[in-house]
Structure 1
Amino acid sequence: MTLTGEDSTVGADPLEPPLMAPLRRDLTWAQVQFMSQSVGHRQDPVLQRIRATAAVRRGTRMIKVLSAAQLAGHLAGWLPYGFCYRACDIAHLRTPAELSLLRTDGAGEDSVAYALRWRATDPIDFEIPMGAAQSGLPALPAHSRVGAMVLGTGFTPSTDDLIPEFVTAGFADLPMPANAQLLAYPGTGDEVVLYTYQPEQHGWLRLAGPRWRHLLEGVPGISPDREYVPCTDAGSATLVGRINDNEYQAIADPPDDFRVRALTRAARYSVQTLARRAEQALWRNVPVWVLQRDESWARLRLVRPDADSVASVGARCYERGVYEVWAPVRELTDHHIAELPYQL
């Protein structure tokens, strides 16, 4: 993070532009911090300009802090979704106590913090929970939410830090890009890479050596000695690409590699177009993602949760900002496959 009165960004990673604020006598660090934590400054143009400097580019490293149960879910095939952060904005937080404020499950501090880190496929996959984009979340009552309150300023609640937060667009699942990592942060200040994602094999390769094997002992259903963990959950979002008139299942390896999914390296051709696909529908006139379904029932996630839509469908908050519900398939309307094209 850079707080400066100059426009210079010399030495900054172009994929991770720093958060910048034009500090001066009448705009001090304390004032910026106060504005970021005050609901009265949601529409403040100065705060909005500061927040806009924390941009996501194609290839920006994103991170989501996880519990042990959430780590197990991603090992099983969960995809990135919900609240997340740019890795550069929280690089100074390295212990479970420091990372606990970023957890989405509402639980307290554990002896080990976990995280999912991946590179953004495209900026359109992310929204800032600020203003009209997520206007309903700050108004949800305490009994209807999990985790920290959504302030609506674009910054996470904190008494000390200025951390810009993001949410996956419409709380959608995002296809897991190549070389995503599952991390652990013990109380020593170390960052330990536990697993890396292998997209062609659709599984996680363990990288943690014997010294760090104990960090996996508290993860439910996972053997610390297992070197490869295949994903059993197919996920609700897929990438597709085209080469001429042919369509293929695709893999993203941002910032530059978007290819056909193939086990043999010689067949991993670069795709000419790329798009994300997922099921959408309406239930009781509320837009939802269809996460999974059988012939009778479907698990749904609200696209734009607010007090009215949550009450209308009786959705439950499973983690910060994420509201899901089961519904009869026969009651869904406008059920279709939504396709979001990326500009390569």
Structure 2
Amino acid sequence: MQAPPAAQTGITEIVWHDRRYRARAAAGGAAFEIYSDTSEPGFQPAGATFHRFVHASEVTSSGGEMLLAGVAPLAIPVMPGITASTVHQYSQNPRIGPAERALVSATRATAFITPGTRMVKPLSRHQVSRQLTSAPLVSGLCFREFDVAHLRFPGDRIVLSGDPDDVRDIAFGLRWRAIGPDDYTSSELVNFPGLVGIPGRERRGSMVLGTGFLPSGTHLIPEYATAGLADLPLSARAEILAYTPDGAEIALFQYQPQTNVWNRVAGARHRDLVNRIPGLETGRTLFRVNPSVHAGLTGEHEGERVPITADPGHGFHAYARGAASRSPITAPRRFHTRARWRDTEVLALGRNEDWVRLRLSQPDIEAIMAADATCVERGVYECWAPLAELEDPRTILTEYPVPPSPPIP
């Protein structure tokens, strides 16, 4: 094997598919970029050599790089005759029997989310534009970054797409840190029984299998949905990313909640990537979002309940003169509104005078037809309804634990 150019640092040696390769850890140890001096299936040209990305769980390395990622990989139950290939085969079949489903569910349950886990969601170019110019929220189907870290080429990331795009030489995504595990649920049948039976004409992107895994012929990727398909507040320093044909991951924008802006962090040499996003003013570097919208994230601060921002790993902060207050936040929680309309469970997202935007919390073909809802992205169905017709409106609360304060030296 031929080592990559000397300018690339952190080169190690790994074993993948019983062969030794020069490699470099990527995504904090969740994946490896491996190199070959000859063209091989799945490898792309990279100067005088060829490269591809593989997940760290697929390789043997003496460096322990995967431990640095801080996220545990899937664990397959120890049973005679059961391999990862067996679980993958069952995970791709929505009609498996109870025994097979129990095996898949046991595997799926090993994919944990903890406060601070880095989450990602694929975005189309139009979704990027809307993200920059609307409330700082995220909802729908998403993934742990750890599980998809090896999908770096735009062609590989198509499998994740929730809003199919006609562009194949670039891919976009949103990355943020989870505030708490209760904000996410598996896409298994028990949580979303109606999604499995929705026909192709009523959906965008690939079908939801109901096994908790993404439809893929080669990857075993656990799939998540925001709890109840509700909007979640973006945490501090969330990023909008671009993935280029050479496998580079480039941060284009970063969210700063204390100033309520998306700040362009990509330099001039990446201006062409920003220009691929429709509807953006050329050269614009700041995109201000509505400071009054925080997906119902509030906390007790100096005796009052106020909007707060989440910075996993560093706690919660109140807004005080454009900067984070030093007074501690207690009782952080998120709230959203649920109701019924035309005998369908919905989330109330926003109002426009006497009309309210609704999202189906348990989509199925009957509810879609009754509400005349439109699929706005994979698994997410929305419509507008007269406010006066909503029944049983109620507030749903999600409590977050307050992280312990660091010891005083």
Q: TM-score, normalised by structure 2?
A: 0.78
Aligned positions of 1:227-246 closer than 5 A: 227-232=285-290, 235=293, 237-243=295-301, 245-246=303-304
C-alpha distance 110-73 of structure 1, shift in aligned 2 (>3 A): same
Aligned positions of 1:328-343 closer than 5 A: 328-343=386-401
C-alpha distance 248-115 of structure 1, shift in aligned 2 (>3 A): same
Question: How many pairs does the alignment contain?
Answer: 340
CA contact (8 A) 2:264 2:285 kept: yes
CA contact (8 A) 2:259 2:322 kept: no
Q: Match of 1:285? A: 343
- Structure 1 range deviating more: 272-281 or 187-196: 272-281
Shift of 1:54: 0.9
User: What SS is found at the alignment partner of 1:84?
Assistant: strand
C-alpha distance 264-67 of structure 1, shift in aligned 2 (>3 A): closer
CA contact (8 A) 1:236 1:292 kept: no
Shift of 1:145: 1.2
C-alpha distance 144-19 of structure 1, shift in aligned 2 (>3 A): same
C-alpha distance 3-136 of structure 1, shift in aligned 2 (>3 A): farther
* Separation in 1, partners of 2:77, 2:344: 41
Question: Which consecutive unaligned segments of at least 5 residues does structure 2 have?
Answer: 1-54, 403-409
Q: Match of 2:377? A: 319
Shift of 1:19: 1.5
Aligned positions of 1:1-344 closer than 5 A: 2=57, 12=67, 16-22=71-77, 26-41=81-96, 43=98, 44-78=101-135, 79-232=137-290, 235=293, 237-243=295-301, 245-265=303-323, 267-344=325-402
Shift of 1:313: 1.2
For 1:61, the aligned partner's letter is R
Shift of 1:88: 0.5
Q: After TM superposition, what 4+ stretches of structure 1 lie above 6 angstroms from structure 2?
A: none
* Separation in 2, partners of 1:22, 1:337: 39
- Structure 1 range deviating more: 128-137 or 273-282: 273-282
CA contact (8 A) 2:297 2:335 kept: yes
Which of the pair has more CA radius of gyration? 2
Identical positions, percent: 37
Shift of 1:70: 0.3
CA contact (8 A) 1:290 1:300 kept: yes
- Structure 1 range deviating more: 227-236 or 141-150: 227-236
Q: TM-score, normalised by structure 1?
A: 0.92
User: What SS is found at the alignment partner of 2:142?
Assistant: strand
For 2:87, the aligned partner's letter is V
Question: Which consecutive unaligned segments of at least 5 residues does structure 1 have?
Answer: none
* Separation in 2, partners of 1:161, 1:224: 38
For 1:70, the aligned partner's letter is Q
Higher relative contact order, chain-length normalized (CA < 8 Å, sep 6+):
1
Cα-to-partner distance string for 1:67-115 (whole Å, 9 max, x where unaligned): 1100011111241100000001000011110101111113355221000
For 2:116, the aligned partner's letter is G
C-alpha distance 313-42 of structure 1, shift in aligned 2 (>3 A): farther
- Structure 1 range deviating more: 262-271 or 9-18: 9-18
- Structure 1 range deviating more: 223-232 or 285-294: 223-232
